[in-house]
Amino acid sequence: MVPPSQKNTIDFDAAKVQRLGASAQKEQTRPVSLAQLRQRLGLQLQTSLDAERILATFFRELQHLVAVDSLGYQHSSSDLRLDFGQQANHSATYRLSHESEYLGELTFRRRQRFSDHELAQLESLLASLMYPLRNALLYRVAIQSALRDPLTNTGNRIAMDQVLGREIELARRSGQPMSLLMLDIDHFKGINDEHGHSAGDEVLKAVATTIKDQLRNIDMVFRYGGEEFLVLLSATSREGAQLVGERLREAVLGLQCVAQGRPVQISISLGCASLKLGESVDGLLNRADKALYSAKRSGRNCLAMAV
């Protein structure tokens, strides 16, 4: 019979850190060991602004005081979820915050129940994690902002340039296919002229959201230009990319947008290109771009495949 899971869920606020630390040290049979570990963590965790590295270090070091099988962390607004070690039945979860600022949830797991004494030790060690983790989250937000288009919340050209080269090299090494979809909103200038630029912005956001909703988590969307988007489809063949492109076209065609009480008809044209052996980033982009213009010349609201 599997024993019932131990679940301790606690709000952990940085304002309580000193009290928790002092209490844990009084109860400690080896207070010097706890103090030494907190001091070591304080030094090590300050050396990085990468959340994954900080939490990996914290997980490794805490084993010197409390045996833990796994550590899980999630921060939904930063789209960050990390897991270290092996899953187990018993868990203790802490909701981290600093001056009412939410810093995510941290879960310790192991095969045996945590004692009150061990939980007090973990809570004391959390004191060393709070500020480095907060700094890492702020840094992550800054990096994400620099790589995202603020209107559509898709990747920008800087992000696209960084990702494309890496993904092409990964596809070459793994022998997996990779495809691009380049798409353009049909008659977008007419939408701006007839309904105004604010309506045009809403159309851009609606199209971007619709595209992302139709894709897998591993696929990536970038705003390529004014009303153009680029979709990177990892591990996707020419045939698979064609199916995805048609699905995107139909989803956008089904959008119901209204501006100043009048419906706005939206459609997209798409060009699809799959990576060829030895092809460069520029070569792949040029073929996708030519396919897009072929779709436009064919009457728009359609998909064209690159040769």
Mean pLDDT in residue range 92-114: 94
The CATH homologous superfamily to which domain 157-305 belongs is: Reverse transcriptase/Diguanylate cyclase domain (3.30.70.270)
Is-catalytic flag, 228? Answer: no
**Could you tell me the CATH superfamily of domain 33-147?**
GAF domain (3.30.450.40)
Distance CA 269, CA 13 (A): 51
Q: List the alpha helices (DSSP H) in 9-115.
A: 17-27, 31-44, 51-62
CB atoms within 10 A of CB 130: 18
Instruction: Note whether 51 and 140 are within 8 A (CB).
Output: yes
Q: Where do the DSSP E strands lie in the chain?
A: 7-13, 70-75, 80-85, 90-98, 101-110, 178-185, 220-223, 228-234, 257-259, 262-264, 268-274, 303-305
**Do 252 and 266 touch, CB atoms closer than 8 A?**
yes
Q: Delimit the CATH 3.30.70.270 region(s) of the chain.
A: 157-305
Q: How confident is the model at residue 7 (pLDDT cuts 50, 70, 90)?
A: low
CATH 3.30.450.40 positions along the chain are 33-147
Owner of token pair 């962390």: 73
Give the pLDDT confidence score for residue 65 in this predicted structure.
94
With CA atoms as reference, report the closest residue to 227 among 252, 244, 251: 252
Give tens-digit pLDDT for 51-84.
Answer: 999 999 999 999 999 999 999 999 988 879 999 9
Question: What's the confidence (pLDDT) of residue 12?
Answer: 58
Q: Considering only residues 292 and 142, tell me which one the structure prediction assigns the higher pLDDT.
A: 292
Q: Point out the catalytic residue in the list 123, 227, 228, 239.
A: 227
Q: Is the pLDDT of residue 25 over 50?
A: no
pLDDT of residue 119: 95
- Identity at 209, one-letter amino acid code: T
Start-end of H helices in 147-236: 157-174, 188-195, 197-213
